Structure 1
């Protein structure tokens, strides 16, 4: 049986893989000419920088998520709170990606990021205060 924190970690890897796929699709008209408009324009040109920025975001704050999970995995048994916080982080990451890619609402994106931020701080509290 897998450790309970493996699935949230794998879910984040899946999210990053999906973002790589979306970025490839968004760049296909410019790079390979696949999906260009009749006038030669890339229909994804406006969205491509947002996908790229979001993909970069997956390698910033999530570093602390992975570090906390790896430390917690070395402990005898993770608390229910730790596992719940890991899933809250993943839900927040998915929502953050959707907001960043599909909207230009920076205030809402910041609010959603706060979910991720607090979930990781909570994970670290589980590490430090077992």
Structure 2
């Protein structure tokens, strides 16, 4: 297994661990409030409004982990199939770093402008990742 394959797999694992970490933090915010009766189950069956702000931020961020990252996973798996190079490995890690920054901003001070900038940076990196992947696999690949 090449180093670039390992780096892509590790980037995907880092993104998965981010999602799991947010889910653990979300559970730590929600479960005690429900178990203590502070928040009746009926009030959260459909809407999240009964939860305090921190739990809502974590919940929104967890939802975010299934938006752009899904496109990342598809591209990363495709790159693994096609033997990734250094551009894919570097862009994969830059994307994951942008997701960690976005998550940190989202669940701490939640400055929307900063959060948006982190999101747009991740989107741009992901677009470059996909653009490079298409160029490498479709345009630069030898014809069969």
Decide: shared fold, TM above 0.5: yes
SS at match of 2:52: coil
Which residue does the alignment assign to 1:22?
Answer: 25
Richer in helix (by share): 2
Alignment of 1:47-86 (within 5 A): 47-75=54-82, 77-86=83-92
The number of aligned residues is 121
Q: In structure 2, what is the Cα distance between the partners aligned to 1:70 and 1:28?
A: 34
- Gapped regions of structure 2 (runs ≥ 5): 39-50, 137-144
Give the superposition deviation at 1:15: 0.6
Aligned with residue 108 of structure 2, among 85, 89, 102: 102
SS at match of 1:31: helix
Q: Is the 8 A contact 1:88 1:115 kept in 2?
A: no
Is residue 118 of structure 1 aligned with residue 124 of structure 2?
yes
Q: TM-score, normalised by structure 2?
A: 0.78
Deviations 1:90-113 (A, max 9, x none): 111011001011123111111011
Q: TM-score, normalised by structure 1?
A: 0.86
Q: In structure 2, what is the Cα distance between the partners aligned to 1:87 and 1:47?
A: 28
Superposed CA RMSD? 1.8
- Gapped regions of structure 1 (runs ≥ 5): 37-43
Q: In structure 2, what is the Cα distance between the partners aligned to 1:115 and 1:78?
A: 22
Q: In structure 1, what is the Cα distance between the partners aligned to 2:125 and 2:84?
A: 15
Is residue 13 of structure 1 aligned with residue 16 of structure 2?
yes
SS at match of 2:53: coil
